[in-house]
Structure 1
Amino acid sequence: MLETYPKKLSERLSEDYERQQALFSAQPAIVQRYLETQGKQIAQAVVDGDPQINFSLPDRVICTLENVDQPALVTIPQNQRTRSAGSFINRFRKTELYKELRHAFIELEQSPDRAVSVAAGLLRHATVMHMVSHMLPAGRTVCYTPAEEDESIPFIPEDDGLEPESAITAATDAIAEEGNGESGRGNLLVPFVPYARKFFLPQWVAFGEHGEMLVKSVDEANAHIKSMQRFMEVLFLAVALAPYISIDEEYAKKRYGMLGQLVNQGRALAIYQVKEIINRIKQRAEAGSLNRGLRLSLPYFDDQDLKLAISHFEVIPSGRIMFVPGFVVRAVRQEEVKVSQDTRYSSSTRKHLLYLLDLLEKAFEAANL
């Protein structure tokens, strides 16, 4: 009987995930280890952006066959095991390996040879499981709340009142520094500030609760942002190869934890840089070096692309025009109108950018330069 309504996407993904998990668990230990080794190699090539990857299917798998009641151990001929995806030409074409690999897996899974089809599915499964479970650091259990009710991504860490203010309670709460401790006393543990310990990976928190920088430089803060973006990119690649991995509990925990942290810290970096821009404008105005025009490049964090972007707008056209703070206010208000009507921004990104523009406006409304 045909289903009246299609199954929900989450139900289909759950079925795919559970089926692959059960198939993998049913394989002999030696086959599982082989799949894990091949999956690790493939995952590394995909994440590194290699143009090509060679891989091979296991020599045998347990699978079901037509007219056979019980699953059987089926051998895969040697000439059907060696496979590849991508080509060295892709380095010049800028073709991403994961797309070629996904196509290769789909073709193999559609093979009339049942053993080849099952082996390809198992190898795809081993690849994405390695990406999620072994290529990304484990983090803390966290809970975020949205800044406002209509925010699509919660990114404000909740304070459950259980976090100690100074004691080191877990390995993730401290960094072990080698070579700085006294002889015979092991490594020196340097704890993170309490606010950082509210995030998934405290070691990548660059800004505090009130926007203060916790690292030594903006370059270091940018490096932390890039590390978080890389983390999210690995998760994206895993889902692109096997959408059902989004059902995996560890995937969900890592995505939730890192997404909230990245948005929080990305916005904090943008706010910090805008305040730096305000200070530089005031300093240059005092020095009289802004009388030949002024064009601003305002950083903001795009929560759709998960990266810092730049909004460009002109404050004073080129020429011999004396700088007046009111010029900044006028230009900002004009830009606010444009941003509020620009449909390319998500609702939350638009609010974030308008907040940054408001910082600029207020800084020069009552400026006494």
Structure 2
Amino acid sequence: MLHTTVSPDLIFQIEKSFYIEGEQKWMLWRNQTNEVQQHFVAQAEQILQAIQKNRPSLEFSLPEKVVLVDPCTHAYREEIIPARYRRQTIGRRLFQRGNSTLSIVLQRLSDLQSSAHLSLSLSANILRYWIARLWLNQLPEGEALPENKGLNPSSEARPEVQRYFPEWLLFNSNGEPLFSTKAEAEQSIHAIEATLQSLLSAMAVDPTIVEEEAFRSRYMTLVTQMVEQGRAYCEYLTKSILSTIRKRQSQHTLNRGLSIHLPYFDDQLLEIRYLDLEVVPPGRIAFEEVFLIHAIQRAQESISKNSKLSLSTRQHILEELKLMETSFSDCAPYSPVGALSPYYRRIKPPISGDTSQNISESKI
């Protein structure tokens, strides 16, 4: 599951008044001397490398002085950064061992932003700006989406998504798998997830990056491809499960119980999850196809009422259940063998006071 789960519709509704606009941060950097500009970019690259490698410690420095806007006169002036703040050292303390380098860096930048020294606040804003943009530029953009390239838009598909990542495509336009093993397919899904996590982490560094088209395009492309390919892969796994059931049914190896872990893709958590179906409880019970139909129908009723899942995820699961149901739609109604078999006869209830016969059925 993604460390930060954000709805595609909500990610662009961040309250901008809490942050200095991205364009303003750009202007703050542009007003610096060439030497200071290069210093900020170099330090941002150093911080980004430490975040990506999750290093336990990090050192970065601030320039000797910066140019800022005087809040009273609104004129540009130079301000010296106090010497004791120019070298910043970040390390995980004993109680911070479980924290990532990203979270510790964000805390330090937040502390600098809230400082009474305007030079420190300005430096933190510029560093946030460049760390996020450098991170964004490292992420793939994808390629223009040709017609019938295997992405089957759902009812929620966005028309503005016109790109895709061919290296992570799992199925072609005919629905045929482009992977040779399940491990290879899951590796592609994890690659999309890791890229999306990096994108969300860049947003955590500088939330104003959501205003940029480069961010929006990557985000919508990643989410769309991840959901569509994840659902298609789950359908592929469902068909594999059906094939296994048919095979084991023909081999008569389903007579000691049957439980199914049905995979589905949750578009809120952006991960593959499983729905447990108990078709036949453990024991010496012969498998009948009608047992599977009954289990599917119970699951359909339960999923239809499950408000914790999004409407699109529920529809996705119901489609998989329908696929399973139609695969066994030709099964005959089940009748208990013992009740109707000619080898069984019903014994009349014993006469009052006669306890010699205390069973309702007996085999002849």
| TM-score tier (shorter) | 0.7 to 0.9
Residue 295 (structure 1) shift: 0.8
Name which of structure 1's ranges 137-146 and 207-216 shifts more when overlaid on structure 2: 137-146
Instruction: After superposition, give the CA deviation of every residue in 1:66-96 in whole Å (9 maximum; x if it has no partner).
Output: 555531233323320222445154675x334
Name which of structure 1's ranges 260-269 and 51-60 shifts more when overlaid on structure 2: 51-60
Amino acid at match of 1:298: L
Query: In 1, distance between residues paired with 2:181 and 2:307?
Result: 34
Query: In 1, distance between residues paired with 2:305 and 2:123?
Result: 51
Structure-2 change in CA distance of 1:363 and 1:305 (3 Å): same
Structure-2 change in CA distance of 1:209 and 1:347 (3 Å): same
2:120 equivalent in structure 1: 116
Structure-2 change in CA distance of 1:258 and 1:353 (3 Å): same
Instruction: After superposition, give the CA deviation of every residue in 1:225-276 in whole Å (9 maximum; x if it has no partner).
Output: 1110011001111122222111122111111111111111111111111111
Mapping for residues 198-217 of structure 1, pairs under 5 Å: 199-217=163-181
Q: Is the 8 A contact 1:274 1:356 kept in 2?
A: yes
Query: In 2, distance between residues paired with 1:259 and 1:311?
Result: 22
Structure-2 change in CA distance of 1:113 and 1:91 (3 Å): closer
Residue 338 (structure 1) shift: 1.2
1:60 equivalent in structure 2: 65
Query: In 2, distance between residues paired with 1:68 and 1:236?
Result: 38
1:322 equivalent in structure 2: 286
Mapping for residues 42-191 of structure 1, pairs under 5 Å: 42-67=47-72, 70-85=75-90, 87=92, 89=94, 92=97, 94-134=98-138, 136-142=139-145, 146-148=153-155, 151=156, 153-154=157-158
Residue 367 (structure 1) shift: 5.7
Residue 335 (structure 1) shift: 0.9
Query: In 2, distance between residues paired with 1:100 and 1:314?
Result: 46
Structure-2 change in CA distance of 1:97 and 1:347 (3 Å): farther
Query: In 1, distance between residues paired with 2:312 and 2:90?
Result: 39
Query: In 1, distance between residues paired with 2:218 and 2:160?
Result: 16
Amino acid at match of 2:247: Q
Amino acid at match of 1:273: L
Instruction: After superposition, give the CA deviation of every residue in 1:84-131 in whole Å (9 maximum; x if it has no partner).
Output: 445154675x33433333222221111111111100111111111111
Query: What secondary structure is seen at the aligned counterpart in 2 of 1:356?
Result: helix
Query: In 1, distance between residues paired with 2:74 and 2:330?
Result: 82
Identity %: 28
Structure-2 change in CA distance of 1:327 and 1:53 (3 Å): farther
Mapping for residues 213-228 of structure 1, pairs under 5 Å: 213-228=177-192
Q: Is the 8 A contact 2:152 2:228 kept in 1?
A: no
Please, which runs of 5 or more residues in structure 1 have no aligned partner? Answer: 1-7, 159-198
1:347 to 288, 306, 311: 311
1:284 to 212, 232, 248: 248
Q: Is the 8 A contact 2:161 2:217 kept in 1?
A: no
Q: Is the 8 A contact 2:227 2:270 kept in 1?
A: yes
What is the aligned length?
Answer: 316
Query: In 2, distance between residues paired with 1:305 and 1:10?
Result: 23
Query: In 1, distance between residues paired with 2:260 and 2:56?
Result: 39
Query: What secondary structure is seen at the aligned counterpart in 2 of 1:319?
Result: coil
1:22 to 2, 24, 27: 27
Query: In 1, distance between residues paired with 2:177 and 2:20?
Result: 45
2:207 equivalent in structure 1: 243
Mapping for residues 2-17 of structure 1, pairs under 5 Å: 12=17, 16-17=21-22
Amino acid at match of 1:356: E
TM-score, normalised relative to structure 1: 0.78
Q: Is the 8 A contact 2:153 2:228 kept in 1?
A: no
2:231 equivalent in structure 1: 267
Amino acid at match of 1:41: Q
Query: In 2, distance between residues paired with 1:249 and 1:157?
Result: 12
Query: What secondary structure is seen at the aligned counterpart in 2 of 1:112?
Result: coil
Query: In 2, distance between residues paired with 1:114 and 1:155?
Result: 44
1:194 equivalent in structure 2: none
1:357 to 301, 321, 325: 321
RMSD of aligned alpha carbons? 2.6
Structure-2 change in CA distance of 1:155 and 1:265 (3 Å): farther
Query: In 1, distance between residues paired with 2:175 and 2:160?
Result: 13
Residue 316 (structure 1) shift: 0.7
1:337 to 295, 301, 323: 301
Mapping for residues 300-315 of structure 1, pairs under 5 Å: 300-315=264-279
Query: In 2, distance between residues paired with 1:101 and 1:253?
Result: 27
Amino acid at match of 1:57: L
Query: In 2, distance between residues paired with 1:90 and 1:365?
Result: 58
Query: In 2, distance between residues paired with 1:155 and 1:297?
Result: 34
